[in-house]
Amino acid sequence: MTLPASFFDGMYADADDPWSMRTRWYERRKYALTTAVLPRERYLEGLEVGCSVGELTAALASRCDRLTGWDASVAAVQRAGRRVADLPGVTVEHRAVPGDALPAVDLLVLSEVLYYLDPADLDLLLGQVRAAVRPGGTLLAVHWRHEVAGYPQTGDAVHAALRAGLDWPVVAGHEEPDFLLDCWVRAPAADLRAASVAAAEDLW
C-alpha cells in the first residue's frame, strides 16, 4: 500500500529534519551529483515532488526561473517554505502524488519519494510523468537502494519500473552501493542528440 500523508506527519512530529538532510555529507554529496547531472544550465519551470525540508529544493533553485516543491506533509511544506523564503521564484505546495496530477514542467525531480508508492500508484504516476515533462525537458530520479521495513518498494524496483516504462534517451545513469540516479530527456528514443549536453552547444 502507498504510505499515507499521516505516516510522514508522524515523522515530522518526531523530528525537525527526519532524514538529517540539512547536516549529512551523504545528502550534500548526493545533491551535488543530482544537480551536476542535469543537462541544461537553466530551466524555465521545475518541480520537485516530495521536497521535505527543502534542502534539495534550495540546491535546484539556482537552475530554475520558477521552481515548485510539493510535499504530502503539511509540516514539511512549512519547513521547506521557510528554507526557500529568500530564494526568488521558489514556492512550496501541499500536494501528494499520484492523487494530485503533475503539471507540465521543463524539469521534474523525483528524489527519494517513489518507493513510498505501491506498484499500482507508481504505474499511475509514470503515466503522468510521460505527459508532464515537456518535449525536450528533463526527468531526474534518484533513490536509496537498501530495503527499509514498511516501504512498499525498494529504490531498485522503482528504477527498474522507470527504465522499463520510459523509452526516452538517457542523459546519464549512475549506480552506487547506496543509490541509483537516472536522468532522461523527453524526446524520441533514437534522438541521441537530444540527450547530449555537447550537442546542445554544437560540439558535434
Q: Please, what is the minimum distance in Å from the beta carbon of residue 93 to ligand SAM?
A: 10
Interface with ligand SAM, residue 26, by CB under 6 A: no
**Contact yes or no for 69/109 (Cβ under 8 A):** no
How far from 87 is each of 23, 92, 155, 196, CA to CA, in Å?
20, 11, 30, 30
Interface with ligand SAM, residue 113, by CB under 6 A: yes
Q: Distance between CA atoms of 110 and 118, rounded to whole angstroms? A: 15
Interface with ligand SAM, residue 52, by CB under 6 A: yes
**Contact yes or no for 194/136 (Cβ under 8 A):** yes
Q: Please, what is the minimum distance in Å from the beta carbon of residue 152 to ligand SAM?
A: 10
C-alpha cell at 115: 518507493
Q: Which residue has the cell 552501493?
A: 177
Interface with ligand SAM, residue 108, by CB under 6 A: no
From the CA atom positions of the chain, what is the Rg in Å? 16
Q: What sign does the CA torsion over 7, 10, 14, 17 have? A: positive
Residue whose Cβ sits closest to ligand SAM: 50
Give the residue, chosen from 50, 137, 155, 169, that forms a contact with ligand SAM under the rule CB under 6 A.
50
Q: What are the phi and psi torsion angles at 146 (to 5°)?
A: -75, 145
Nearer to ligand SAM, 108 or 166 (CB): 108
Nearer to ligand SAM, 21 or 105 (CB): 21
Q: Which residue has the cell 503522468?
A: 128
**Contact yes or no for 106/47 (Cβ under 8 A):** no
Interface with ligand SAM, residue 19, by CB under 6 A: yes
Give the residue, chosen from 39, 45, 60, 70, that forms a contact with ligand SAM under the rule CB under 6 A.
70
Interface with ligand SAM, residue 151, by CB under 6 A: no
Nearer to ligand SAM, 111 or 138 (CB): 111
Candidates 112-120, 151-159, 166-174, 191-199: pick the segment binding ligand SAM (CB under 6 A): 112-120
Give the binding site for ligand SAM (CB under 6 A). Answer: 8, 19, 21, 48-52, 55-56, 70-73, 76, 96-97, 111-113, 116
